[in-house]
């Protein structure tokens, strides 16, 4: 695939093809330096929107709940479509008191203390998958490993039966991160509805027969004395399955793709010259799988001399903020020892990703399994890029493994 660097006037950040077909590094640099508040004009009947590209401006917007709201949607696909049906009920698109109370409910099962057993299961599952792949000599890492680690983890938490997980994975990909050019917004909407209907059935089952999973916990929960409705629970299950799968999966794939091309960084990891936690943060910064989050203006404000008016859409681009030269030394260099590393991969502020701990555990276990069971690896075919204006990464990554025979002999 030929990747080009486009001129400002031909970039449409609302078009998924923009990210599949272009290298936007120079574009983001130009925006940060010259147009920190940039207007992406209307295209083909789609609304225009503001673009924030500097790290500090993105952070300021995340902190500001006076002038900006999430309750009309937090990604372009819903903001440009007129709003999010889950507004005021799904954690990601709820603000204020209800957001605070709903977050407290979900934190009961997603805190590091509660997830210790889950983390142990992630370790066992990840090491088994990597060991089997290395023994086989090669695999499509995206399909056979990265797709299975996060989906297994979040499905276990939600109580999704094993036989349903491949179906759910296919729907999450179609909803937000397809690699097929012929999948349009109608197909994506149908996939999102399929996920919602699936969880509606699960909620009905848990009301009849509760278990020890997250859905059963939500069924038993209330806010200000009012039980969560079926719709509240379903929408938050949708958010958990999408968030719990996509960020970790795409970061893992990008991490392996990058390490295969950066032998010096792999050597540092392999020989223990960098801390795993530090390496995880750099893999997240580098991948920036969630390219943006969005807000709607609710109170007129000004930024860099530009007036932002109520009703307008403002997009906060992690893809640019995580490469901001004002914050990161040599931001275009992949450095597993980078510290400090206050990346934006999980957002910031009240909406900081509630599953961040679990995502870091999954990525850390992957890096440790690669370190222990291989002496290195290489890609053996083209990495197929997804088509999305929200997420970035690869859907396919053929890899050949070089086994570390001494590591493979060890008993976990």
In a domain, 166, yes or no: yes
pLDDT of residue 2: 42
pLDDT of residue 9: 73
pLDDT of residue 412: 53
| 37 phi, psi to nearest 5 deg | -120, 100
In a domain, 155, yes or no: yes
Domains identified in the chain, total number: 1
In a domain, 138, yes or no: yes
pLDDT of residue 179: 57
311 sits in the region (left: phi over 0; alpha: psi -120 to 50; else beta) called: left
Contact criterion met (CB below 8 Å) for 377 and 138: no
Nearest to 237 by CA among 190, 207, 203, 191: 203
CATH at 391: 1.10.630.10
pLDDT of residue 1: 39
| Cα 17 → chain centroid | 19
Q: Look up the pTM and report it.
A: 0.94
Q: For each successive 10 residues of the chain (412 residues), what is the average pLDDT?
A: 58 91 92 97 94 98 96 94 90 96 92 88 97 97 96 93 91 72 72 93 96 94 97 94 90 98 98 98 98 98 98 98 98 98 96 95 98 98 92 96 88 54
In a domain, 2, yes or no: no
In a domain, 332, yes or no: yes
pLDDT of residue 199: 95
In a domain, 113, yes or no: yes
Residue 127's CB is within 10 A of a number of other CB atoms, namely: 18
Peptide bond into 340 cis (omega under 30): yes
Contact criterion met (CB below 8 Å) for 27 and 11: yes
Size of the chain, expressed as the number of residues it contains: 412
Range of the domain at 387: 8-409
């Amino acid at each position: 695939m030929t990747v080009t660097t486009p001129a400002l006037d031909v970039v449409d950040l609302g078009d998924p093809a923009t990210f599949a077909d272009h290298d936007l590094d120079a574009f983001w640099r130009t925006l940060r330096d010259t147009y920190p508040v940039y207007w992406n004009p209307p295209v083909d009947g789609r609304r225009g929107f503001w673009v924030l590209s500097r790290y500090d401006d993105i952070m300021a917007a995340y902190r500001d709940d006076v002038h900006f709201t999430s309750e009309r949607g937090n990604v372009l696909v819903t903001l440009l479509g007129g709003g999010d049906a889950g507004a005021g009920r799904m954690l990601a698109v709820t603000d204020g008191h209800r957001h605070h109370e709903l977050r407290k409910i979900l934190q009961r099962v997603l805190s590091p203390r509660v997830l210790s057993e889950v983390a142990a299961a992630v370790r066992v599952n990840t090491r088994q998958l990597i060991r089997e792949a290395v023994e086989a000599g090669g695999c499509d890492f995206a399909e056979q490993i990265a797709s299975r680690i996060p989906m297994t983890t979040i499905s276990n938490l939600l109580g999704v039966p094993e036989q349903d997980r491949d179906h759910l994975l296919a729907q999450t990909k179609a909803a937000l991160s397809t690699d097929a050019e012929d999948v349009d917004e109608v197909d994506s909407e149908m996939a999102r509805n399929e996920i919602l209907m699936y969880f509606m059935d699960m909620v009905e089952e848990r009301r009849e027969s509760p278990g020890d999973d997250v859905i059963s916990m939500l069924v038993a929960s209330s806010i200000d004395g009012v039980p969560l409705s079926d719709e509240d629970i379903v929408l938050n299950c949708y958010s958990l399955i999408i968030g719990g799968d996509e960020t970790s999966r795409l970061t893992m794939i990008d991490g392996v793709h990058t390490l295969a091309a950066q032998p010096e960084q792999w050597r540092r990891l392999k020989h223990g010259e960098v801390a795993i936690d530090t390496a995880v943060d750099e893999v997240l910064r580098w991948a920036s799988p969630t390219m943006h989050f969005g807000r709607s203006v609710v109170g007129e404000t000004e930024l860099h001399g530009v007036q932002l008016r109520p009703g307008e859409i403002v997009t906060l681009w992690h893809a640019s903020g995580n490469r901001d030269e004002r914050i990161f030394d040599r931001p275009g260099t992949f450095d597993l020892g980078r510290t400090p590393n206050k990346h934006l991969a999980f957002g910031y502020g009240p909406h900081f990703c509630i599953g961040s701990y679990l995502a870091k555990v999954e990525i850390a276990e992957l890096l440790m399994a690669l370190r222990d069971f291989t002496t290195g690896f290489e890609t053996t075919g083209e990495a197929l890029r997804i088509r999305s204006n929200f997420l970035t990464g690869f859907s396919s990554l053929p890899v050949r493994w070089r086994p570390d025979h001494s590591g493979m002999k060890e008993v976990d």
